Structure 1
Amino acid sequence: MRLLALGGAAALGACGFTPSYGPNGGASLLQNRLRVDDPLDRDAYLITQAIESKLGRGAVADFGLSIAIRTEETRMAVRADNITLRFNITGKATYALRDLATGAVLSTGTVENFTGYSATGSTVATLAASRDARERLMAILADMITAKLIAAAPTFAAPKAR
């Protein structure tokens, strides 16, 4: 079993595989070198907070990240008397990563996902469920953006000399 594990590790090393969170992996290339543009609303704040919790916030950043968020709430389960029992919130985030020294755009993309919530409780419970669903959606979109940036980082982010 140990021989099999060593053989697998050697094969991965030979193919040029670098773990994202390992030395010189995509995450380490972006760690504390990224500054997300200042958020203008709650959704932008939540997505910024989630990205910075994974990649840090560079005091002197090399990269700037702009994010445009669009959400839409849709009634999903509607009774015959037109009472909505469930809502879905779809979200789409378009991002652009820039080199702050040159202004060059290094990576762009769009991510989309959705969450839902029940509207069968009291007004307060429904408002809390809606707020929680938005928080979950922004966390999901932030995870998707972070994964794409980490995957692309080796193509544009040389290791920074410390």
Structure 2
Amino acid sequence: MRQLLAPALLVAGLLLSGCAGFQPLYAQPGVTRDLGAIEVTAPAGRTGYLMRQHLDDAFAKNHSVAPRYTMDLALAEARYPRGVRIDNVATRYEYVLTVTYVLKDLPSGAVARRGRVRVELTYDSADQPYASISAQQDAQDRATDEAARRIELELAAWLGTTAKVAAK
């Protein structure tokens, strides 16, 4: 046992020494605060509602502070039949959600950042109508959750870089 412990400690020491200077993204000053101060404006409809909810959750929306940014969203959805049976009925669908966002600084309204996120996923289509509707709604929920996660990462990286530049 002692013979295995020494090499393991050596490898762990080498790995940790390679991480010198590493700082987690959310340890940058202001990243979490600025994400929580984004007011999201989404289009009407189920997908817009889901998108706004997932973004508020991803940003850890702080309702007790005045918004520093506003984010306008534009959504584009498409559904393509895949896995067509011999009777020309699709057994699977591909759902594509494209989210375009514009982040504006408040109160000036100047555009701070623009971006676009595209999420593609598939879901099964059941012969029962309500099961098929449920599967499609689940796909919308999963796609909006993934799009919100990607937007959060893009903005956190941007805010982290901006904070580093501002600190210098």
What's the TM-score, normalizing by structure 1?
0.83
2:54 counterpart of 1:50: yes
Deviation at 1:77, TM superposition (A): 1.3
Write the mapping of 1:5-154 to structure 2, written as runs, cut at 5 A.
5-10=15-20, 13=21, 17-24=22-29, 26=31, 28-59=32-63, 60-154=66-160
The one-letter code matched in structure 2 to 1:71 is E
- In 2, Cα distance between the equivalents of 1:157 and 1:8? 24
- In 1, Cα distance between the equivalents of 2:124 and 2:42? 32
- In 1, Cα distance between the equivalents of 2:42 and 2:88? 40
What's the TM-score, normalizing by structure 2?
0.81
- In 2, Cα distance between the equivalents of 1:49 and 1:63? 17
The one-letter code matched in structure 2 to 1:41 is G
Structure 1 residue ranges without an equivalent (≥5)? none
Task: Please state which structure has a larger fraction of its residues in helix.
Answer: 2
The one-letter code matched in structure 2 to 1:118 is D
- % of aligned pairs identical? 28
Deviation at 1:154, TM superposition (A): 3.0
The one-letter code matched in structure 1 to 2:73 is I
Report which stretch shifted further, 144-153 or 118-127.
Answer: 118-127
- In 2, Cα distance between the equivalents of 1:53 and 1:46? 11
- In 1, Cα distance between the equivalents of 2:27 and 2:48? 29
Deviation at 1:157, TM superposition (A): 5.8
Deviation at 1:91, TM superposition (A): 1.0
Deviation at 1:151, TM superposition (A): 0.8
Aligned length: 152
State whether residues 69 and 105 of structure 2, in contact with CA within 8 Å, keep that contact through their aligned partners in structure 1. Answer: yes
RMSD between superposed Cα atoms in Å: 2.0
Deviation at 1:96, TM superposition (A): 0.8
